Amino acid sequence: MSWLMARLRAVAVATAIALAAALAASPACAQQFDELIRKLASDDFGEKLDAAEKLGALGDGRAIPALKALSDGTLFLRKADGAALIADGARYFEAVGGKALGELPAGDVEKVRANNRLRGAISASLSKLSLFSDDRATRLAAAREAFKSPTPETAAALERALKSEKDPEILTAIRFSLNAAKVRAGSVEDRLKAIATMAGTADPQVKNLLTGVSNDKDAPPEVRKAAAEALVSIERTLAIVGVAENVFQGISLGSVLLLAAVGLAITFGVMGVINMAHGEMIMLGAYTAYTVQIVCRALLPKEFVGFYLVISVPIAFVVAGAVGILIERTVIRFLYGRPLDTMLATWGLSLILQQAVRSIFDAQNKEVANPAWMTGGFELIPGFFVAWNRLYIIVFCLMVLLAIVALLRRTSFGLHMRAVTQNRDMAAAMGIPTARIDALTFGLGSGLAGIAGVALSQVGNVSPNLGTIYIVDSFLVVVFGGVGNLLGTLVGALSLGIINKLLEPVAGAVLGKVAVLVFIILFIQRRPRGLFALKGRAADS
């Protein structure tokens, strides 16, 4: 079998070289190409470097196998006539024409050496030649890569590619890189036009390019002046885009905090229970998503595996909710009215749950892969990238919040829960089973934490300590927004998320969190009931 695979590979190499040979445009071009390929096998590194650069500028796809062979160390010189040969295992092929030569004695050939400088030139030439590849992704990558080497040779290759390319996205990338090449190496008029074209681009690469031009003492004064003026416009645009990006990231962080805190807003805000194990309910939801992912990969057809995340949501709600009801029935119900004992008991339960997860899944981080439909993103405006997973979490968060509001306002369970919250004794006198409502309310809050865990598994690793990351932030959101108020929880989560992200570029992540904590402490001194305080009997209780 191995000899068959080797034979097939040899045939593939020979075919590639032969097909490339068919691209010769004219006898003169063919003669120039043959001479450059022969120079690649020269002993003189200067000749090899010159040949590699000229082959890239020539735009002839036949050069790709020879250039790759030289870079990979599989280009050989035939001592008899100085011809360049490409080795594939023990077999050899002519670099020009692709004629198969079979196996040759080791004394008849000599390996052609390449240094780092030569490999750099080969890489640049291969990038130019890739502009004419049949593969769309290769052409697009080559067009974007050309921005990093704005030379006259690159500009010439881009000009040729511009005439033959039809794909709109690749054409945009080619024009972008071509402008960069003209800024560096064009005539004064071309450089000024290219700078004017790039002036409104919110791209850090363009900023770095124009900064280099404005600081280049050898550049014409009018070019330096135009580059400096364009930099002012670019920096202003980048600042606006940066603020917009930070606001979006803040909303994204706020939606994550809201998902983590909305369950706590029910258990802490409605029941008055300080549940230090709330973070572990989030952790259970994340591990449920991880388990469902494994099961779906094992049982479902490949095309349906991506739906494991949708399946995980109700399962995580049930698992975390069931654990929450169990905790309420076995521990919490004996501690109502004793907040310190409740806090200590739930803290102990959080440690037990963490250790249980370590025993079942081990202490290593687990990865819950993003489904294909949540991978990647899109560029809303130049320089402003929106990730699909973040956008889906924001939408999912709003859907969860609307579902909770509908549950509380439109169902008998919601009515009973609000009645128990406002006046437990009167609710009991009216025949409402307060003990069952307490258990279901605690289960609802825990189930929502489990759903939050599923969402959080898409933006980070799953570990036994996942809950401890969000428990403090969850309490801050609930207290800041107003205890027991869902609107306050929403506003509090988004406010803290945006403030955090706006402070990070200025003060850093750690100092930003400290500043937010100090702000909340001072705010609570002024408004102890939070942004949206409960009114009436609910507030009095």
pTM: 0.68
Residue 414 has pLDDT above 90, yes or no: no
Per-residue pLDDT at 535:
54
CA dist., res. 87 & res. 94, Å (int):
9
Per-residue pLDDT at 1:
45
Asked if 86 contacts 10 with a C-beta cutoff of 8 angstroms, the reply is: no
> Which residues lie closer than 8 Å to 227 by C-beta, 6 or more apart?
183, 195, 210, 211, 213, 214, 219
Q: Are strands 109-111 and 100-103 parallel, antiparallel or unpaired?
A: unpaired
> Which residues lie closer than 8 Å to 403 by C-beta, 6 or more apart?
none
pLDDT, mean of residues 223-235 = 81
CATH number of 246-540: 1.10.3470
Residue 268 has pLDDT above 60, yes or no: yes
Per-residue pLDDT at 534:
58
Asked if 454 contacts 305 with a C-beta cutoff of 8 angstroms, the reply is: no
High-pLDDT (> 90) share of the chain, %: 9
pLDDT tens column, 373-383: 888 888 777 67
Residue 260, Cβ density class (10 Å: 0-12 exposed, 13-18 middle, ≥19 buried): buried
Domains in the chain: boundaries: 2-121, 135-219, 246-540
Q: How far is CA 292 from CA 286, 306, 374, 392, 500, in A?
A: 10, 11, 17, 19, 33
Asked if 223 contacts 191 with a C-beta cutoff of 8 angstroms, the reply is: yes
Residue 320 has pLDDT above 90, yes or no: yes
| Helix or strand holding residue 413 (H, E) | helix 412-422
Averaged pLDDT of the chain: 79
Give the end-to-end CA distance of the chain in Å, rounded to a whole number: 81
pLDDT tens column, 479-513: 888 776 788 888 888 888 888 888 887 777 778 78
Residue 21 has pLDDT above 60, yes or no: no
Q: Which amino acid is at 231?
A: L
